[in-house]
A and B are shown apart, each in its own frame.
Chain A
Amino acid sequence: MDLKPAARRPEVLLILIVLGLFMLLTLQVRRGGQSVLGNMALAAFGPLLSAYDSASRLTREGFQAYVWQKNAALEAERLAAENRVLQGRLELSRPLEKEVLTLRDLVNAPKPQGYEVLGARALTQYGAPFSRYLLVSCDSRYFIPEGTPVMGPGGAVGRIQGTSGSLHKVILLTDPSSAVGVVSERSGVKGVAVGKGSDMDVRWISNEMDVRVGDQFTTSGEDGVFPQGLRVGTAVSVQDGGDYLKKITMAPAVQMDELTWVLLMRKTGG
């Protein structure tokens, strides 16, 4: 223990500090922590504490802001992906919505007496440019006789001309070989609607009869195929002909190229 005074400096310092701090503590505790020295220490460390608090708050808030922003960015990315998926689903659902609306129209359409209706899916149109056919699919359990009238949303579409299993060929009203007895809703004038490809002619109406542009024609029921009262089309052009018969052009009530579902109207009973 014969160390030089300089070598003993740490020990001396240690003892002085420990004693000093112990005295300081004793004084503080005796006065309930409210000693002058305690207050002085608080004053000395106050700025440090304040700086620490500021730094701590700043760092914490900054970190939280960073976390929030990162979360927000991730959330935005997730939402964008979800949005893309939803947009895709929306695109897929649009035809379904249209189909549902079509089916609703079909279901809500007034059904003629003496007929039962069967739903059939319209698959494709074919036969152009010479013919206008529609291929429909119906449950093969049902027997669909030839000539069965077919109805779409808005009115008559055509009649069944051939069947193979669940597939049925419909000859549209716009087919040049198609003819259906019609009557004007307004004036009760009767005629025959013959297909022209995209629209129809109404024939066998004399020049004296009262027919105007915009008149609605429905099936008269006199052709023995279509029930009475199905809407066929609207007159878009009416002219007196040189052969005493009017030349009437009629736009079909049903958009034939937009058909997705149709109703097959099968006769019941006799």
Chain B
Amino acid sequence: MAKRLIPVLLLLLLAVGIQTLIPLISGELTIANPYLAVLVTLAMRGGRLGGVVWGTFLGLVSDAYFSPYIGFHGMTFCVIGYLLGWLGSKLLITGILPMAFFAWGAYVADATAVAGLYRLLGLPLASPFWISVLLGSLITATLAAIFELPARRLFRKGHP
């Protein structure tokens, strides 16, 4: 169990490090969500259950960091993690580009779902929303591609 957690912790540390250093490059880049990139990496290898668990955890972490309310990203990440876990168990996907694509899609899906929930609950949305989503999804896709490189070595022997 501990051996399985160490790679995950390393990836989380990498995510925290990237999130910390990104503002040094540009404040615009903080729109990226490195935890979603980590979720793609973990869920594609962890199956449905792993996707749900890691999605909930990373979503709540994202909520704690990014959202004024707890639960938006927790909910969407949970669903996204489940779907990615299901995809990962059905398809054999190892490339960096597919991971980036899934991360891009996951970011757009997360943003759409959260925006829908905001509308549903009568909360105001920041604008320009979709331009920000596009930029954030591209950076998150890049981060997912970056995370995939160490993940290949870290998860060589087992799944999270």
Contact = CB atoms under 8 A, between A and B. Distances in A.
Interface stretch (A8-16, A154-162, A243-251): A8-16
Nearest to B83: A14
Interface in A175-196: none
A130 B68 CA distance: 102
Contacts, number: 86
Contact of B72 (A14, A17, A25, A49): A25
B19 to A, nearest CB: 8
Nearest to B78: A17
Contact of A18 (B60, B65, B75): B75
Interface string A1-37: 0000000011101100110011011101100010001
B52 A59 contact: no
Contacts of B65: 49, 52
Contact of B20 (A14, A41, A49, A60): A60
Given A9-B49, A45-B64, A21 B78 contact: yes
B29 interface: no
Nearest to A48: B64
Contacts of A24: 70-71
Contacts of B125: none
Task: State the main secondary structure of chain B at its contact with A.
Answer: helix
B112 to A, nearest CB: 16
Nearest to A23: B71
Contacts of B93: none
Interface in B56-114: 56, 60-61, 63-65, 68-72, 74-75, 78-79, 82, 85
A56 interface: yes
B131 to A, nearest CB: 26
Contacts of B85: 10
Which of A29, A41, A48, A56: most chain B Cβ within 10 A?
A29
Contacts of B19: 56
B71 A11 contact: no
A37 B63 CA distance: 13
Nearest to B49: A10
B121 interface: yes
Contacts of A17: 52, 56, 74-75, 78
A42 B71 CA distance: 12
A13 B123 CA distance: 27
Contact of A60 (B24, B49, B122, B123): B24
A60 B30 CA distance: 14
B110 to A, nearest CB: 13
The 7 closest A-B pairs by CB, nearest first: A45-B64, A10-B48, A41-B70, A21-B71, A21-B75, A25-B71, A56-B20
Given A18-B75, A21-B75, 12 more contacts: A11-B82, A14-B48, A14-B82, A17-B56, A17-B78, A21-B56, A25-B71, A37-B70, A48-B64, A52-B20, A59-B21, A63-B24
Interface of B: 16-17, 19-21, 23-24, 47-49, 51-53, 56, 60-61, 63-65, 68-72, 74-75, 78-79, 82, 85, 117, 121-123
7 contacts: A10-B52, A21-B74, A28-B71, A45-B60, A48-B61, A55-B20, A59-B20
